């Protein structure tokens, strides 16, 4: 059952990613394929869903994925879900295929990943100290986004738009998100260790 679910969820993830890439190419007339591709992978949503699709593919092929990786992937994609639902939903009106890709990446895949984690997580051997290692990925993403935005004046998300809010406010926004990420990571580990029985 685990392998079948991982295969299904992985296929959904890859389909959503490819669909979104095709759509962003279609919706970016006058921009080079290279520039569009760079911007495509400049979204935390895309990077995290790619990581998740790779994870499910590895599980589907019988790879032994560490419990810490399982939980980290779930925390990352849950972050995508929460940020989108509470900060980004409704900012852009979408229809048709654009709406489908958007909902797959921001809503369905995070929910499926959370369900998979509840069903198969093994968090008991994972120490809380690993949370700080998990934070490296979003911090590196933030550093890249600010550097890229500084050179191009393009920011993928409004709350990191230095041109609009200034660096001070962006750092405050980012700091709040990091604190929320740390708290959620601790919560996931606590639930995995103490609440979900295996």
Task: For residue range 125-135, list pLDDT tens digits in order.
Answer: 788 899 999 99
CB neighbour burial string for 175-191, b if at least 16 within 10 angstroms, e if fewer: eebeeebeebbeebbee
Distance from C-alpha of 196 to C-alpha of 21, rounded to nearest angstrom: 37
Distance from C-alpha of 52 to C-alpha of 45, rounded to nearest angstrom: 10
Task: For residue range 148-169, list pLDDT tens digits in order.
Answer: 999 999 999 999 999 999 999 9
Q: Is 166 left (phi over 0), alpha (psi -120 to 50) or beta?
A: left
In the chain, how long is the greatest CA-to-CA distance? Answer: 54
- Count of domains forming the chain: 1
User: pLDDT at residue 195 above 80?
Assistant: no
Distance from C-alpha of 148 to C-alpha of 187, rounded to nearest angstrom: 32
Distance from C-alpha of 11 to C-alpha of 8, rounded to nearest angstrom: 5
Range of the domain at 28: 2-195
């Amino acid at each position: 059952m685990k392998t079948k679910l991982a295969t299904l969820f992985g296929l959904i993830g890859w389909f959503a990613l490819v669909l979104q890439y095709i759509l962003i190419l279609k919706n970016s007339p006058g921009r080079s394929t290279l520039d569009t591709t760079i911007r495509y992978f400049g979204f935390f949503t895309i990077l995290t869903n790619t990581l998740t699709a790779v994870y499910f593919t590895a599980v589907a092929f019988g790879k032994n994925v560490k419990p810490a990786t399982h939980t980290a992937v779930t925390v990352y994609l849950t972050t995508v879900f929460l940020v989108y639902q509470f900060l980004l939903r409704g900012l852009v009106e979408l229809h048709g295929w654009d709406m489908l890709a958007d909902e797959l990446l921001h809503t369905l895949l995070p929910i499926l990943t959370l369900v998979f984690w509840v069903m198969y997580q093994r968090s008991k051997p994972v120490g809380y100290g690993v949370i700080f290692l998990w934070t490296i990925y979003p911090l590196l993403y933030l550093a890249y986004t600010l550097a890229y935005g500084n050179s191009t004046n393009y920011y993928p998300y409004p709350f990191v738009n230095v041109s609009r809010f200034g660096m001070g406010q962006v750092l405050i926004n980012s700091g709040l998100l990091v604190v929320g990420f740390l708290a959620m990571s601790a919560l996931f580990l606590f639930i995995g260790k103490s609440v979900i029985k295996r």
